[in-house]
Structure 1
Amino acid sequence: MATTVQSFAEIEEEFNRYIRDIVYCSLVTVDSKGRPRARVLLPIWEVVDGRPVGWLAAYKTPVKTAHLKNNPHVTCAYWNPRQNCMFADCTAEWIEDQQVKNEVWELYRKGSPAPVGYDPQRYWSGGPSDPEFGLLRMDPFRVQVVRGQDLKSRIWQP
């Protein structure tokens, strides 16, 4: 049975603990025929005005771009063998603003603890202005954390 929480702060500690422990998520998009497609990626998260915001440094591939153009809804699914899970159902959009790209680049480099944080220069040698550096912003409309030991589930929705 799931419990609904009133503020994200009520699950923030567990949310962050699971992300630091699990690190990678399965990011699910939907194609033009309504079929899901998953890939393993490494988003970082921050809290802005009491709400989680996810950032994903990623190549802006034709498949991801087409999926998001048709349907901006994504799910970030985290799971570990202890059955701890975190799901963030979000709306997503590509960000082109260079200042935001610079800020998130630094968030990856310094603002998020390893192993979640990393130096994106390994993938985009031109830095945050590298034309191949894509940035996806994810704004959750539902976050669920599930504790594996007893399957206690808590859900936040803005």
Structure 2
Amino acid sequence: MSAQLAAVAPAFTEMANDMVYATLATVDRRGRPRSRMVHALWEWDGTSLTGWVGSVVTPVKRAHLAGNPYVSCNYWDGVERYDTCVAECRAELLLDERSRREGWERFASAPPPLGYDPATIPMWEDGPDSPAWGVLRLEPWRLRVFPGAYARSGGKAGEILTWQAPED
């Protein structure tokens, strides 16, 4: 783990988990982006950062991730603070029984607003065995945290934080 990740990941996790909803973009086979709103939950354990999304399993999402497993997850609080943060990630759609149950429990047991009962969504009313339920695991390769206070103060308050994984 880099010292830079240790400085950026907690700030990203706090900001993203406070906002809850993000725009997640995938890319189709022609390189065109497609965005959708997601309810994401981020976990920082002191050494690694992982994002989780309870996901509707669609043929489009499957095809996009099969062709290009990278996504952009963008948050923006445009109401009061104007904070923004972005996670550029490698995404994996987890569809095995264990991952689906663990993902379901992760969201069902987390405190609100991150936690929610996935069964309240009609297409998932059958629980983690619902064919429409899947879990996206997000492993960031780049993070950016941009506090609105920084922009509002002309760069005198707050700090823009960025981390990028070393090239493979």
What TM-score do you get using the length of structure 1 for normalisation? 0.87
What is the percent sequence identity of the aligned residues? 39
CA drift at 1:103: 1.6
- Asked if structure 2 preserves the Cα contact closer than 8 Å seen for 1:6 and 1:156, the reply is no
Larger radius of gyration: 2
Gaps of 5+ in 2: 152-158
Q: Quick one: higher RCO (CA 8 Å, sep 6+), 1 or 2? A: 1
Secondary structure of the 1:115 match is: coil
Please say which of residues 42-51 and 118-127 is displaced more in the overlay.
Answer: 42-51
Secondary structure of the 1:42 match is: strand
Residue 149 of structure 1: aligned partner: 149
Aligned length in residues: 153
- Asked if structure 1 preserves the Cα contact closer than 8 Å seen for 2:17 and 2:40, the reply is no
Matches within 5 A, 1:3-152: 6-48=3-45, 50-81=47-78, 82-111=81-110, 113-123=111-121, 124-151=124-151, 152=159
Which deviations, in whole Å up to 9, do the C-alpha atoms of 1:5-56 show, x marking residues without a partner?
Answer: 7343323442233223321100011111111111111111113561111111
What TM-score do you get using the length of structure 2 for normalisation? 0.82
Moved over 4 A (4+): none
Please, what is the CA RMSD of the aligned residues?
Answer: 1.8
Q: Distance in 1 between matches of 2:103 and 2:163?
A: 25
Secondary structure of the 1:99 match is: helix
Secondary structure of the 1:150 match is: helix
Gaps of 5+ in 1: none
